[in-house]
Amino acid sequence: MTLIDELIALLGPERVRHHPLDLLVFSKDAGVTTGDVVAAVLPETAQEVAAVVRIARRYETPIVPRGAGTGLAGGAVPVSPGLLVVLTRLNEIHDVDEVGLTAWVGPGLINLDLSERLEPLGLHFAPDPSSQQACTIGGNVGTNAGGPHCLADGTTVAHIYAAEMVTATGEMVTVGSEAPDQPGLDLRAVVVGSEGTLGIVTRVLVRLTQNAPDVATLLIGFPTIEAAAAAVSGVIASGLIPAALEIMDQPMVKAVENFVHAGYPTAAGAVLLAEVTGTADTVASGVDVIRSVSETNDAIEIRVATDADERALLWKGRKGAFGAVAQAAPDYYLHDTVVPRTALVEVMTKIYEIGDRYELQMLNVFHAGDGNLHPLVAFDAKEPGMLDRVQEAATEMVRVSIDAGGSLSGEHGIGLEKRGLMNLVFSDIDLDAQARVREAFDDAGMMNPHKVLPEGSRCFDAKGVRL
């Protein structure tokens, strides 16, 4: 029997996709990199996942876990011929604890579906990536995803108590527990953000957040992106930590408004979308602070959403930003570096300069409150040499962010896109330590190989001697 034969015997032909057209569809995520897929399997239980891993191990076939394919860093793209384990059918909510504010859910559950199904209970899952209508909880766990509302609430790792996972040997283990302060090694935090390199997550214990009693969403137009960034710094300096502080530059505002028709001020040089949650008094006070700081920084328009429908429309614009870019060009490329808030204007100025020098169409949207940038280049990959030019410019943008004291990624992960840049942030000793952790989970190197860590990261032997 062959690998495909054994997988079909286990799952049936409908759940083992190996037709050339299927392989083409599964060969990439939402990024620009294409990989080599042997087959894509769609298990429906954790036990099936474990059986698939044991079969693949016998055939020495690398395994790449995949959710909805919304990743932007090539994390779900096989580098060498590999087996995709697609987890979208493990999408149940297994148990909800309304007292303990937790729920066990499948990794294939859509992020937004979880919060919508919890709405009658007055609860939600706080991490809200812009792709939350499509991305999965498992994908969020893999990249430690963030989102506009993670300024106050924190990224995914702050909302995961435990994860059930299948190891590289096909065993099922659980890291973390229902107790938020479990003694011993915090393997939960090691697994969250590991991008499928340590095992395949098959169930997740998420922390639930109570819906706020009141909320206000503000749309504020500024003459320049510098003024908008200064307002963000002013709001934080006041002591207020809003639920969200999002900035879009004028090219992005125009694209979004043409796409969503939310009433964004297209004449503004930049738009700030801010949200405050809490009690009615807290929200009113927060709105006053944001309004005052914005006026001090030359705001040309301040609008407070009047009801839930208007709030939803304003957020639809922000969360539809990447889709709106399709009006400008058929392809886009972006990074998600993080810089200190105090360096926002400096770094954005340099990013615009890089775009101009490479003659690229730039649109920018970013989580301004925590300095998470999303410089986006709209382009046509069919134009000869264009992708190479875009990638060269993007690398320069990352270097500018690192030089300003920033980091490689805030929520998209490292994947393939940034593994060659890891040494900008981490020393040889750092990379070796990360490689050792990886080996402790997967000594055969089967789980999502060639991702995150650059070649040669394992540079010391057990006695500390350089290899």
CATH number at residue 336: 3.30.70.2740
Q: Which of 153, 184, 210 is the last residue of a domain?
A: 210
Q: What is the pTM of this model?
A: 0.93
Domain identity same for 282 and 317? yes
pLDDT of amino acid 458: 81
3-state secondary structure the chain: CCHHHHHHHHHCHHHEECCHHHHHHCCECCCCCECCEEEEECCCCHHHHHHHHHHHHHCCCCEEEECCCCCCCCCCCCCCCEEEEECCCCCCEEEEECCCCEEEECCCCEHHHHHHHHHHHCEECCCCCCCCCCCEHHHHHHHCCCCCCHHHHCCHHHHEEEEEEECCCCCEEEEECCCCCCCCCCHHHHHCCCCCCCCEEEEEEEECEECCCEEEEEEEEECCHHHHHHHHHHHHHCCCCCCEEEEEEHHHHHHHHHHHCCCCCCCCCEEEEEEEEECHHHHHHHHHHHHHHHHHCCCCEEEECCCHHHHHHHHHHHHCHHHHHHHCCCEEEECCCECCHHHHHHHHHHHHHHHHHCCCEEEEEEEHHHCECCEEEEECCCCCCHHHHHHHHHHHHHHHHHHCCCECCCCCCCCCCCHHHHHHCCCHHHHHHHHHHHHHHCCCCCECCCCCCCCCCCCECCCCCEC
pLDDT of amino acid 467: 58
**Residue at 444 is within a domain:** no
Domain identity same for 221 and 305? yes
pLDDT of amino acid 190: 96
**Residue at 405 is within a domain:** yes
Total structural domains in the chain?
A: 4
**Residue at 412 is within a domain:** yes
Domain identity same for 223 and 311? yes
**Residue at 124 is within a domain:** yes
Domain identity same for 46 and 100? no
Residue 138's CATH number: 3.30.465.10
pLDDT of amino acid 323: 85
**Residue at 430 is within a domain:** no
pLDDT of amino acid 386: 95
Q: Which of 322, 339, 355 is the last residue of a domain?
A: 322
Domain identity same for 199 and 99? yes
Q: Which domain holds residue 414?
A: 328-420
pLDDT of amino acid 212: 96
**Residue at 10 is within a domain:** yes
Domain identity same for 120 and 27? no
**Residue at 455 is within a domain:** no
pLDDT of amino acid 462: 54
> Which residues of the chain fall below pLDDT 70?
460-467
Residue 283's CATH number: 3.30.70.2190
Q: Which of 302, 322, 342 is the last residue of a domain?
A: 322
